[in-house]
A and B are shown apart, each in its own frame.
Chain A
Amino acid sequence: MKRSTLRLFLLSIVACGALVSQATPAAAQVAVRGKIVHTMAGDPIADGVVIVTDGKISAVGSADQIAIPESYRVLQAAVVTPGLIDAHSVVGLGGMDNQDQDQEQLESSKPIQPGMRAVDAYNAKDPLVEWLRRMGITTVHTGHAPGELISGQTMIVKTVGNTVEDALITDAWGVACTLSADAQKAGTQSPGTRGKMISMLRQQLIEAREYLAKQAAAGGDASKQPSRNLRLETLARVLQGELRLIVTADRGQDIASALRLQEEFKFPLVLDSAAESYTMTEEIKTAGVPVFLHPSMYRSVGDRENMSFETAAKLKAAGIPIALQSGYENYVPKTRVALFEAAITAANGLSFRDALATITIDAATILGINDRVGSLEVGKDADLALYDGDPFEYTTHCIGVLIDGKVVSEEVR
């Protein structure tokens, strides 16, 4: 009885939604019509249409210019955006239950373990992946968490699929590095200080440089090649610019250390969390480094005691590329929703467009996947999020989500 009461109640909520649909969820040919379509490639389109054919966007424009083929299923919404991108998460590794058996995001046996791949740790079926998908998050950059000096690799996935292979966009994107008190050890273990952290990182990168030099010297002679070393191979890929070093640093002094390290070794750097980045805008801008900014509801203690709701606006004004992330804390909640994080920036100095960009096109550009996702343009993956109002308002619902042209959620969330 109680259950059916709930179901009735929830059904009545669903019935209020604006999503109009009859066909099966797997239909591949879809037209999405929105009172406002934020393509993130040019101005928003009033009464816009996005035509989805075989998983890709085949046409975008205003309803009076674009004809919807008769056989296409039509979805309608007040607001349509590109599928949202969470620039940094541990979802799929840090499972919902927060029990030992579902926490794969942080291996603490050693402080430096870059050889660990995210693909080997990702659970595509964790309930939080679905939770985010139904809120309109279609792409996440996820992997090993902040908390060790080098905790492992990250990757980019879509929030669909039975396996990580189904979900993958990029199997190895970056290496997670932490320069904060969170990654320091007590007692006689290293690293125990900030100075030691940098010393250990420099040592590792120098070894990786030597490893590369040995490989180059060996040339085609397999007998002279150094033995394979997964740790050094990964760091060598960082030095060669194939992988990014994602440095979680909140204090201004730690951000400065990250920039100093980058200047010495010339690897692609992304600053992560970066609570005090507003004190370092000139240096970050000069270094040409993008920022994955922390969520607004991180606890403001320790290294993050000086965090601000206005950091996104300040970085944007300084010309620094930024994206918003759901982040990582090892307690409730196990994931935040990047949509709500962008909303806080929109309420604290960023324009609506720039705030939406932090979880769409700007995130895609920093992640290097803007040829596939991040905006509604012909030829791109048909990843869309549908809303019954301003997506940033808490009281608005996500009423539909498409990934690769498939309707993956029609729930009113």
Chain B
Amino acid sequence: MLLSKSGLTCLLVGILSVGCWVAASTDAAISPVEHSSKQEAAIAFVGARLIPIDREPIENGVLIINGGKITAIGSADSVRIPAGTQTVNVSGKTIMPGLVDTHSHIGGIGAADGSNPIQPGVRVMDSINVRDSGFKRALAGGLTTLNIMPGSGHLSSGQTVYVKLRFSEQPASVAEIAIRRDDGGIAGGLKMANGTNPQGDPPFPGTRGKAAYLVREQFIKAREYQQKLAAAGDDESKKPPRDLDLETLVEVMEGKRMVHHHTHRHDDIMTVLRLSEEFGFRVVLQHVSEGWKVAREIAAAKAPCSVIVIDSPGGKLEARDMRYETCAVLEHAGARVAIHTDDWITDSRLFFRSAGLAVRGGMSREAALEALTLAGAEMLDLQDRVGSLTPGKDADFIILSGDPLSVYTKVEQTWVEGRKAFDRADPKDRLYAVGGYGAGHDQQPYFCCFGHQ
């Protein structure tokens, strides 16, 4: 085990040796500069109903974008459109921010392998196929920002990556869609899971108690690693050898990397909160199917929840008490709630269905739309860039034919950083919106459980 782990480290260090090592960054092999937007001239969208999310909807509004950013928003009589600005009449339409999906598996992903239940050093970004049709379908569903995660078959299956769907031209690689942190590192979290999915034969845990034990053991190791690094200060000779797994857990304990924690059952949720408190990591509770049973505790812990909403409960024991009411109960308890596709579990093109079903279960319409946008942005630490139609934020927005929560409404256009990335009127894009011959050719993501009973 030790040998193979250090062998892996050597291999990766070899590959990465071209880049310079930035503290708290394990991704130096690609340019540290974020792929830039190419919007060339200002555009004003005039006449639509605007749903900014961070304030009341605006009837007959004006939205102005320039240089890939939102520069102005307001009612027609309050916003002055600079002379010479290209104007697009969108009366009768509804415009809202591009949707933020806090939990997706598109791109034919696969990170950690079957050798070990805890592999925080593995990056999902190294597995993403940007030509996977899942990206086109996500755009057709109005999604613009995604947290692409490895699966839930491990206690930690690796690092997630936050991406922008910059598909006005086909990206050549994940580097063109990856979001950058302020320090130049790839923005992303750490995927963790508890409950039944990561259970298996050794070295995987056979019980919930063993699962928590294994996680604690790794975090305690990481804490020691962190202390050695601190003690070494600037003295390179005293630093412990680099360990991709431990340094990722250090990032997590230092709050630089969010934990996105798959957890369904009420007791598993409480275990996540307990570990989060012990090791001081920031966590987004992912799925939270039984969150309605411990909503007060979740709210008290100020743990944000990213909820899966699907047609029916079950499919595994820990999801048997999944309810449409989960989002409503969490909202009522004062917890922050986002909704996710978990795409392959639900189709990104039908993301609004999940929010609609949450409203069916009692969630307010306002909170449901926020759950698809700003709440998710906060859970990815991207609330200063995306999630609402706010001047200064990225010009990521969607043009809808009507009420966002109506089944009859279509996503007509999806704009990312000031450029049109999906247009239902274009037959090439429409193919992915409705499906048809040539729309598929997906790769099946590496999941723990799909195809098994």
Contact = CB atoms under 8 A, between A and B. Distances in A.
A300 B106 CA distance: 12
B317 interface: yes
Interface stretch (B31-39, B94-102, B402-410): B402-410
A103 B440 contact: no
A394 B329 contact: no
A135 to B, nearest CB: 9
A120 B381 CA distance: 54
Most buried by B among A13, A95, A393: A393
B435 A395 contact: no
Contacts of B316: 97-98, 332
A300 B444 CA distance: 10
B356 A393 contact: yes
A10 B293 CA distance: 13
A413 B316 CA distance: 22
Most buried by A among B313, B365, B441, B451: B313
B334 to A, nearest CB: 12
A305 B434 contact: no
B295 to A, nearest CB: 7
Interface in A376-407: 392-397
A6 B329 contact: yes
Contacts of A307: 435, 439-440
B314 A98 contact: yes
Contacts of B295: 2, 5-6
B440 A306 contact: yes
B357 interface: yes
A395 B453 contact: no
Nearest to A329: B450
B357 A394 contact: yes
A394 B408 CA distance: 10
B440 A300 contact: yes
B311 A394 contact: no
A347 B440 contact: no
A71 B283 CA distance: 59
Contacts of A98: 314-317, 453
Interface residues of B, number: 57
A221 interface: no
Nearest to B363: A395
Interface stretch (B60-68, B198-206, B341-349, B383-391): B341-349
A309 B443 CA distance: 20
A199 interface: no
Most buried by B among A95, A305, A335, A397: A305
A301 B312 CA distance: 22
A100 B453 contact: yes
Interface in B301-356: 310-317, 319-320, 324-325, 328-329, 332-333, 344-347, 350, 352-353, 356
Nearest to B357: A394
Interface string A328-365: 00111111110010011011100000000000000000
A336 B439 contact: no
A89 to B, nearest CB: 11
A65 interface: no
Contact of A332 (B315, B353, B406, B435): B315
A413 B317 CA distance: 22
Interface string B423-450: 0000000000011111111111000011
Given A9-B328, A301-B442, A394 B356 contact: yes
Contact of A335 (B312, B353, B407): B312
Contacts of B346: 297
Contacts of A305: 439-442
A402 B7 CA distance: 66
B360 A394 contact: yes
Contacts of A132: 312
Contacts of B407: 343-344, 346-347, 392-394
Interface in A58-111: 95-100, 103
Given A279-B437, A343-B407, A9 B362 contact: yes
Given A304-B440, A394-B360, 15 more contacts: A3-B293, A5-B296, A97-B320, A98-B314, A100-B453, A300-B442, A301-B442, A308-B439, A331-B449, A331-B450, A332-B345, A334-B314, A347-B410, A393-B405, A394-B359
Interface of A: 1-3, 5-6, 9-10, 13, 95-100, 103, 127-128, 131-132, 276, 278-279, 296-297, 299-301, 304-310, 330-337, 340, 343-344, 346-348, 392-397, 413
28 contacts: A1-B296, A2-B295, A3-B293, A6-B325, A6-B329, A13-B325, A13-B328, A96-B313, A96-B320, A98-B316, A98-B453, A100-B453, A131-B313, A300-B347, A305-B440, A306-B437, A309-B434, A331-B449, A332-B315, A333-B312, A333-B314, A336-B312, A337-B311, A340-B353, A344-B407, A347-B410, A394-B352, A396-B360
